[in-house]
Amino acid sequence: MHYTRVLKTGDPGPVAAIRIRGDDHARFESKCDRSGGPDACHLWRGYLNPEGYGRLRLIAGNRLAHDLAWEWANGAPIPAGYEIDHECHNEAVRAGTCKAGLCPHRSCCNERHLVARTRQEHLGATAWRPVRAVPGTRPGTASPAAKLIESDIPAIRAALAAGESQATIGLRYGVSQTAIGLIGLGKTWRHVA
């Protein structure tokens, strides 16, 4: 480390990290890609959390980027009991061009695509999400926890038969390596031929 410090600063001693935080709005705009125009998804180009949502570190703490976009556009904090939903994702699901799981719509920060909804309204806004049931009691997409759809299973089985790794297949479909292994063993998704 001393050698690296000498190369960078000319001093081998430890250097205190100095962070200059400017205007939160300016930092937000520097990470939001608005190049597609006012009606396109404005994708977040900063840090994405494991769920695929953009995060921004503010002076007051970390916040979800789409929550900030909604609050700044509406000039008020998110009402108690409400959460921000991506209408661009809901429309894509209804059109059949998007499915459950990680998708680019989660990083959208276009204020026109964001809607405040109650948790119940949010869960019911997309056509793919079924009525809640006890987990494990319904097979396939009837399960509220399903990330795959029935048409994915034959392709997954074919990829496994072709020798593709479970981890690679899992990344492609947004599920774990274990989930792919269980499909290959016939322990899950047995109802799909």
| 8-state DSSP, 61 | E
* Pairing status of strand 55-58 against strand 61-64: antiparallel
Does the model's pTM come out above 0.85? no
> Which secondary-structure segment (H or E) carries 2?
helix 2-9
Q: Which residue has the higher pLDDT, 137 or 183?
A: 183
Dihedral class, residue 163 (left if φ above 0, else alpha if ψ from -120 to 50, else beta) = left
Query: What's the pLDDT at 44?
Result: 92
Query: What's the pLDDT at 113?
Result: 93
d(CA 113, CA 85): 8
Distance set, CA 104 to CA 7, 88, 99 (Å): 40, 10, 11
Residue 78, SS3 per DSSP: coil
**pLDDT tens figures, 37-69:** 999 999 999 888 888 899 998 877 889 999 999
Mean pLDDT value of segment 60-87:
90
